[in-house]
Amino acid sequence: MNDDRITLGHGSGGRLTHELVETVFKKTLADEMLDTSCDSAIIGPISGHIAMTTDAFVVSPLFFEGGDIGSLAINGTVNDLAVAGAEPRFISASFILEEGLCISDVSRIAASMARAASLAGVHVVAGDTKVVERGHGDGVYITTTGIGKMRDEPPAGIQAVQPGDIVLVSGPVGDHGAVIAAHRNGLEVEGGLTSDCASVATLVDAMYDAGVRPVFMRDPTRGGLATVLAEVASSCGLPVEIYEKDIPVRAGVTAVCDVLGIDPLYLACEGRVVVFTRPEQAATALDALRSRPEGALSTVIGRVMPGGAGPVVLVTRFGGRRLYDILASDPLPRIC
């Protein structure tokens, strides 16, 4: 069946749909909690507060260095739960498939979701499949919904950020955005680029295990690091100062950005977390992040400054200052 392609029949709810669900999704996802004979997944009991989030994934290309739309759909939702202070537990996935898509690609995406879910410690417990006519979709769209158990001491939130708080990031920024931008513009980078697509739940666990209680966390996806910092600066009404020399950016990412005229601080990350902590907890938080292989390149990148509603100020490597705001829009192709 793997040489076959998706037809409208796979979305009819009949025999082909059943076959796709059983032989591809159920078999590949292989989650003991995924009961395809039941209309709803029964989960729990979960005591205390529950976090819930949903996210749609429409990435093109579907497969890229370091991940694919499947791993992205799991990690994206896992990370939204983790940074809100929840322990990710359960995920549902809804697929919109385009007629003509190779079933082997669907299997590959499902296998990637299974791996990502297993690494993040979440169960894929429910799903749905629809098929749209050729030309009405971009291969596969996936929507995932996640449920997590809130920690006893979740982050106080963006409003609790105060002067003196320290900003950390869990690794090089812009890797995912650069991979996608390079793909779309036909750029090849010497030494290659790899998306950072991964769960940050383990990094958050490591910080909590070490006794750190972050004030605020966010995964810098669309709009990148700069947009997250600009949102914090605007919400808490305090300037955030960051230091170019301390912000990790891979050489290949810088190269792609220079060619395309974009700023790596605005490029999406899919496996990083930006953490605001009180100053006395910063060193412990950094050690905890670095204790995990996926956080080995974590750094302190800046701090929250006192006084005056303010933007994000980057102190350049030369000691100059430049300001950042929320990303406005994608730039148009330039004249020179």
Partner 1 sequence: MRFLDAFRDVESVRRLAAEIASLGPGRSVRLMHVCGTHENALCRWGLRDILPPWLKLIAGPGCPVCVCPAADIDMAVRVAADHGAILATFGDVVRVPARQTLMQAKAAGADIRVVYSISDAISIAASEPSRVVVFFAVGFETTACTTAAALTKATPNNFFVLSSHRVIPTALDALLSIPGPRLDGFLMPGHVMTVTGTKAFRDIAARFNVPMVVGGFEPVDIMLAVKELVLMVKDGRAEVGNAYTRSVRAHGNEVAITAMEKVFEVRDAAWRGIGTIKASGLAIRPELSHKDAMVRFGLQPDDTIPDTEPGCQCGEVLLGRLEPEDCPLFSTVCNTEHPVGPCMVSFEGTCAARYRHGVRR
Question: Residues interacting with partner 1, by CB under 8 A?
Answer: 190, 245, 251, 254-255, 258, 261, 263, 311-312, 314-325, 328-329, 331-336
Min CB(229)–partner 1 separation in Å: 11
Give the up-direction half-sphere exposure of residue 304: CA atoms within 13 A in the CB hemisphere: 31
**Do the Cβ atoms of 101 and 125 come closer than 8 Å?**
no
Tally of residues, the chain: 336
Choice between 83 and 257, CB closer to partner 1: 257
CB of 290 to partner 1, least distance (A): 25
C-beta of 138 vs 263, nearer to partner 1: 263
Which token pair is 105? Answer: 């690609």
What gap in Å lies between CA 33 and CA 317, rounded to an integer? 51
Which of 157, 311 has the CB closer to partner 1? 311
Nearer to partner 1, 220 or 252 (CB): 252
- Phi and psi torsions of 85, nearest 5°: 95, 20
Please report how close the Cβ of residue 315 comes to partner 1 at its closest, in angstroms: 8
Pick between residue 135 and residue 334 the one whose CB is nearest to partner 1: 334
Residue closest to 226 by CA, chosen among 177, 297, 279, 185: 177
CA dihedral of 125, 148, 172, 236, whole degrees rounded to 10? 140
Nearer to partner 1, 100 or 311 (CB): 311
> CB 321 → partner 1: shortest distance, Å?
5
CB of 55 to partner 1, least distance (A): 25
Alpha-carbon gap, residue 286 to 284, rounded angstroms: 5
Q: Which residue has the tokens 């600009």?
A: 230
What residue type is assigned to position 68 of the chain?
A: D
Cite the beta strand spans of the chain per DSSP E: 50-57, 63-64, 67-68, 86-98, 123-132, 140-150, 166-169, 216-218, 240-243, 274-277, 299-304, 312-315, 321-324
How near is the Cβ of 165 to partner 1 at its closest, in Å?
21
Q: How far is the C-alpha of 48 from the C-alpha of 182, rounded, in Å? A: 44
Closer to partner 1 by Cβ: residue 127 or 264: 264
Return the number of the residue (27 or 322) whose C-beta is nearest partner 1. 322
Q: Which residues pair with 131 in a beta bridge?
A: 97
Q: How far is the CB of 162 from partner 1 (least distance, A)?
A: 22
CB of 178 to partner 1, least distance (A): 14
